[in-house]
Amino acid sequence: MRNNEMNHLAKRAVRDSFVKLAPREQAKNPVMLMVYLSAILTLALFVLSLFGITDSQPGFIISISAVLWLTVLFANFAEALAEGRGKAQADSLRAAKRDVPAHKLNEGLVAKGHHVDDPAEFFRLQADEVSSAVLKKKDLFYVAAGEQIPADGEIVMGAASVDESAITGESAPVIRESGGDRSAVTGGTTVLSDWLVVRVTADAGHSFLDQMIAMVESATRKKTPNEIALEILLVALTIVFLIVSVSLFAFSGFSANQEGIANPTTITSLVALFVCLAPTTIGALLSAIGIAGMSRLNRANVLAMSGRAVEAAGDVDVLLLDKTGTITLGNRQAAEFIPVDGAAEHDLADAAQLASLTDETPEGRSVVVLAKERFGIRGRELEGSGMVSIPFTAQTRMSGVDFEGHEIRKGAADAVKDYVESHGGTYSSECAAVVADVSRAGGTPLLVARDHRILGVIHLKDIVKQGIKENFADLRTMGIKTVMITGDNPMTAAAIAAEAGVDDFIAEATPETKLAAIRQYQAEGHMVAMTGDGTNDAPALAQADVAVAMNSGTQAAKEAGNMVDLDSSPTKLIDVVRIGKQLLMTRGSLTTFSIANDLAKYFAIVPALFVPLYPQLEALNIMHLTNPYTAIMAAIIYNALIIVALIPLALKGVKYREASSQSLLSRNLLVYGLGGIVLPFVAIKLLDMMLTALGVA
């Protein structure tokens, strides 16, 4: 983040820190509410002490009160700074949200548009221009190149290139078209070419952009179940220490009366003891940790529909991943030419390239490239060559060319076999064996024939993404099981699963099998995450504990998921799990540190308070602090400053590591547990020395 942006966030956070001093705001955090009330109490005690009504050390009382007020402000600052990031994101999103003219259509006009020569011109002339604010769900509108899409919707007619950078931050335009899984458009994006007719799917104020703004503004963030459970524990500990402090005051008063001396324990010092022993550090940072976790997810261009989903991602132990586009690059590529029946590999490559010159699919282009790389065969000059292209059809399942008196065909093994045999050719056992070997290896065999004679096999291979195997190994270390979902046959799926390093796979997957698999894992006690983009993925997404829908997908998929990936990157699911686990690790680490802190503060304050009554407690004064006043002041100052020191860690998060739960727990206890004990001893002693040097009585 740039320095000027950070300065702006800090200034707004300082201002908001004072705004949050309102009792209603403080009541949202029970632990810090007690510190807030303690600050008010000590301020009242100071006023009373000026009139000699209560404790007779007004300088000491006002010092404690000032530090307590700073403690509350520091906690407010941590939360406000975390919220500030979300507000900055919300401001940038609001800039993309504005009322624009919309070209409204009715059903009758759209029906007529299917039968005119120039639908775009027809819709442009017939549409009624209205404000985007008046569009309602199920309304139809027309949008052309250069215009902003006025509302969320599903394309019912047309195809266009759309700039979604206002939403995703990605400058490359995307293609949106009617039908299929790329038919959803988002209000605030811009059409770059062609035109669309869109049916509105969300009323004004409830659009996807409105949801994004609401979610990134931390004020709308709801506490997660684990966060609520931890807060209940912290409140319970706070109540326990409150009872202990009140009991100690009564006990010290009774003991002082028995000894016939004035009670050396004052209300102010016991308030300081209570604040120091209560889990104020984690209480002050707990909300900031949760807000920052959602902010990190937003910066990864993933919109979480609830804080519960972010936290659930940290508990996921089963990942269901689509093969295409997630584990593999998404397009099969020619990997090898395998000649059969005595044919030369060069002849096979030459015929395969000729058959693919007019094939604009990624597979066809990869055949041309492979022939060029292996044998230096370059594309022919087609102009005036007399070449006749034979396009692929679902009926023939072949394509090819007629060139210089030769018939060259390329296609599925059974289709080419039937074609060759119907013209008197043969399908040899050698060819059948190669086809079987390619299939067993997880590839797709394409046969190439010239003049009704099979020359050999093109091995089309799903290319596994680089580094994906290492990613899965890291997930396995974390105790997460990876399951590949594919529509391929079991033999092909097994080969790709082995190459990618996934733990299991589901072959010939249908929406029903995906849903059944998720339910089975959940019945076994697992937390399941999956990603999807199509309407057929919606049932499984709705069932999964963490469901990441692609922003480019259908409205049904986005409504079924509890997260939306604005980049539409299927591999983002792995990042989501890491961010969720980092959130849980950060919360656990700072909770451990906060509770460990109390031990050192106990040794600082308790001896200072009760040594006058019980000299034997001097043995607990292991830090050899100067006097009760410097001891209490040093502890309460440290209690405030440690909140400020930990704000960067709460916002950035504990560094994520791929390791087992046992290893993470051991490291957590060593670094944050032991560190939480040692650091306060050192810091409080240094503060005591500084206060003594400044002449604090």
Residue 322: active-site member: yes
Neighbour tally for 138: CB within 10 Å: 11
Domains of the chain and CATH, by start: 1-88+217-298+578-694 (no CATH), 101-149+152-201 (2.70.150.10), 307-327+465-566 (3.40.50.1000), 333-461 (3.40.1110.10)
How many angstroms separate the CA atoms of 555 and 418, rounded?
A: 43
Q: Which residue in the list 139, 152, 163, 322 is annotated as catalytic?
A: 322
Where is pLDDT greater, at 235 or 475?
A: 235
Tokens read off for 475 = 């997930």
Q: Is the dihedral of CA 405, 410, 413, 418 positive or negative?
A: negative
Helix%, strand%, coil% for the chain, nearest 5: 55, 15, 25
Instruction: Write down the pTM of the prediction.
Output: 0.67
Average pLDDT value for residue range 107-134: 84
How many angstroms separate the CA atoms of 21 and 80, rounded?
A: 12
Burial of 261 (0-12, 13-18, 19+ CB in 10 A): exposed
Please state the residue numbers annotated as binding site for Mg(2+): 533, 537
Where is pLDDT greater, at 479 or 692?
A: 692
Tokens read off for 547 = 């469901």
Give start and end residues of each alpha helix (H) in 441-565: 468-477, 490-500, 511-523, 538-543, 555-560
pLDDT tens-digit map of 334-363: 889 999 999 999 999 999 998 888 787 778
Compute the CA torsion angle 625, 627, 628, 634 (nearest 10 deg).
Answer: -50
Average pLDDT value for residue range 487-506: 83
Lowest average pLDDT, out of 210-219, 544-553, 589-598, goes to: 210-219
Please state the residue numbers annotated as binding site for ATP: 359, 363, 392-399, 410
Reported as type and span, the H/E element at residue 630 is helix 628-652
Report the b/e string of 57-79 with b at 16+ CB within 10 A.
bbebbbbbbbbbbbbbbbbbbbb
pLDDT tens-digit map of 624-652: 888 888 888 999 999 999 999 999 998 88
Give φ, ψ of 153 to 5 degrees: -175, 180
User: What percentage of the chain carries pLDDT values higher than 90?
Assistant: 19
Where is pLDDT greater, at 43 or 303?
A: 43
Under a CB-based contact definition with an 8 Å cutoff, are residues 352 and 367 in contact? Answer: yes
Banded pLDDT at 219 (limits 50, 70, 90): very low
How many angstroms separate the CA atoms of 507 and 493, rounded?
A: 6
Average pLDDT value for residue range 572-579: 82
pLDDT at residue 321 is higher than 90 = no
How many angstroms separate the CA atoms of 42 and 270, rounded?
A: 11
